[in-house]
Amino acid sequence: MTRPSILDEVLTSAGCSGETDPGDRPRFAVTNPATGDRLGHVPDMGRSEVHKAVRSAKVAFPVWSRKTAKERAAILRRWYELIHSRVDDLAQLLTLEQGKPFNEARGEILYGASYIEWFAEEAKRIEGDILPTTGPDRRMLVLKQPIGVVAAITPWNFPSAMISRKLAPALAAGCTVVIKPAEDTPLSALALAQLAKRAGLPDGALNVVTSVRAAETGEVLTSHPDIRKLSFTGSTRVGKLLMRQCAETVKKVSLELGGNAPFIVFEDADLDAAAAGAMLCKFRNAGQTCVSANRFYVHASVLDAFADKLAERMTALKVGQGLDEDTTVGPLINPAAIDKVEGLVDDAVAKGARARLGGGRHARGGNFFEPTVLENLDDTMEIARAEIFGPVVTLIPFEEEADAIQMANDTPYGLAAYFYTQNMARIWRVTEALEYGMVGLNESVLSGENAPFGGMKESGIGREGSKYGIEEYVEMKYLCHGGLGA
């Protein structure tokens, strides 16, 4: 196994370089989902360590928030540059703990870093307002101030980018942060924190809580009165729970939750472009992304042609370990993930679905699943409603535009939707009718630091990235300055 040098630096900084912990503190193992190999151990923190982290973020808040925007921007910029200087090392670490192909991991590191660069620039543009006064003796202003200590809880599918997408705007605004990365992938978080420290982030401004005790640590982060905001990316079920817990202390929340993205191919679409887009959208991260196409609605007149083009491209996919050069689809994250995807496919097939390609676990065994195309689906099948989070395409025919829109919107989710057409009037009709926070039109890769990422309905609250992203981390304060004389 190739061992990235940053792995040892991270384990040493987490106090877990040896096989045993001299202090007998609880630890947990991080494993490679492609092989089951242990990469190392990190501290399994609980209630008291989370309290300690919140205290440290609270103490650091006046230090960090009183720096000028330009000073904060310079540190963020250095952090961005350090990440760039270690990109291959960080990508290798990411592949080892998460499984995605090295090139995708490298892309994720750069994608995540782009949020740091973006918000380093935005830090200098957190502008308030001067309002037209209502009287000659008064002046009226709006100030924007950092909200305070922020808790961030992040998922395993993008162990680096989902962290920088939250930390960069929070730190740029002047907030301090306690972050709890997913237990499957804590190493990328520790690596980012280490580079942030090297970039000059003051002690306590960023605190990483590694833990397998999600309920216990989540309970402290959502109930602690010194935390003013929670930013969470993960499932809708957990997001609702955390939001309920935050209600008691009325915290501001940003939630980036589940998706159930429709991918609509109209009869007038460029089918080659649609098939190429479907490949990127569906098989990035082995289908384990919230914006991954989850339901393919294809006009009945082009369904066979589209399915053939897609299947042809899919036969070129190479399932394997992420560090093998030709791998394009890595493993799923853990045995529970593979059981879930297998269960959905088996249920569909038992109820009459047909596998045009794939249909089960990959011959490599372990956490690998075959790229699969299912057709002949109906509403009785769980896969027709569930977020699949695996490399499985479900093909569903439609006849009328209105039916495609109705089916696309018939879900509590509203994160991303995609459609392919060449018809200008249809472009506007469908764009306006889709109840989604993000829409890809003849395009299947939407994300970028300059665009607002987020969903409607049960897919979340708030937006990450773009000029809007920093608003999630500031409070607006209205100042009415009176007694100024006539």
Chain residues in the site for ligand SIN (CB under 6 A)? 157-158, 233, 289-291, 447
Q: Which of 117, 84, 91 is nearest to 106 (CA)?
A: 91
Q: CA-CA distance, 152 to 166, in Å (whole number)?
A: 7
Sign of CA dihedral 210, 459, 473, 451: positive
Do the bridges between strand 293-299 and strand 139-146 make them parallel or antiparallel, or are there none, so unpaired? unpaired
Tell me, rounded to whole angstroms, the distance of Cα 313 from its chain centroid.
27
Catalytic entry in 49, 281, 290, 375: 290
Compute the least distance from the CB of residue 291 to ligand SIN, in Å: 5
Q: Which is nearer to ligand SIN, 222 or 285 (CB)?
A: 285
Residue closer to ligand SIN, measured from CB, 292 or 421: 292
CB of 160 to ligand SIN, least distance (A): 11
Contact 319, 419 (CB under 8 A): no
H/E segment holding residue 97: helix 87-98
- In the bound state with ligand SIN, the residue whose beta carbon lies nearer, of 389 and 473, is 389
Ramachandran angles phi, psi of 396, nearest 5°: -130, 120
The rounded radius of gyration (Å) of the Cα atoms in the chain is 24
Identity of the residue, 355 or 441, whose beta carbon is nearer to ligand SIN in the bound complex: 441
The answer to whether 404 touches 398, Cβ cutoff 8 Å, is: yes
Per DSSP, the residues of 74-89 read HHHHHHHHHHHHTHHH
- How far is Cα 222 from Cα 230, in angstroms, rounded to an integer? 7
Q: What is the DSSP string of 294-320?
A: EEEEEEGGGHHHHHHHHHHHHTT--BS
Residue 256: active-site member:
yes
Q: Nearer to ligand SIN by C-beta: 107 or 128?
A: 107
Scanning 66-160, the segments in alpha helix (DSSP H) are 69-85, 87-98, 102-122
In the bound state with ligand SIN, the residue whose beta carbon lies nearer, of 172 and 291, is 291
Express the helix, strand and coil content of the chain in percent, nearest 5 each: 40, 20, 35
To ligand SIN, the closest distance from the beta carbon of 464 in angstroms equals 8
DSSP assignment of 178-214: EEE--TT--HHHHHHHHHHHHHTPPTTSEEE---S-H
In the complex, what is the shortest distance from the CB of residue 447 to ligand SIN, in angstroms, rounded to a whole number? 3
Q: Measured from the CB of residue 157, what is the shortest distance to ligand SIN in angstroms?
A: 6
Cβ proximity to ligand SIN, 233 vs 236, nearer residue? 233
> From the CB of 128, what's the least distance to ligand SIN, in Å?
30
Q: Which of 117, 256, 375, 458 is catalytic?
A: 256
For residue 161, the minimal CB distance to ligand SIN (Å) is 6
Secondary element (H or E) of residue 138: none
Residues forming the active site: 256, 290
